[in-house]
Amino acid sequence: MRIMLFKIQGYDWNCPQHITPRFIHKEVQEALQDQIEEAKRLKEENEKLKKQIFELTNYEKQLACRKI
């Protein structure tokens, strides 16, 4: 049986000196532009639908109050 003993004096798992950036911010932004625009469009549509629901619910409440 053999045993090896290592004495480590320093360790940095993610040393930026040896990590090559694969993409720059501009490349990522360009690649995700369609998804960003779609998310914005869906958020706007969601807000419009929330307003419509609010208006319809209030209208129904007003009608219910008039029937009493």
28, pLDDT greater than 60? yes
pLDDT in tens, 4-27: 888 888 776 777 777 777 888 899
What does the longest C-alpha to C-alpha distance in the chain come to? 92
Query: What residue spans of 1-68 are helical by DSSP H?
Result: 25-67
Could you give the percent of the chain with pLDDT greater than 90?
Answer: 43
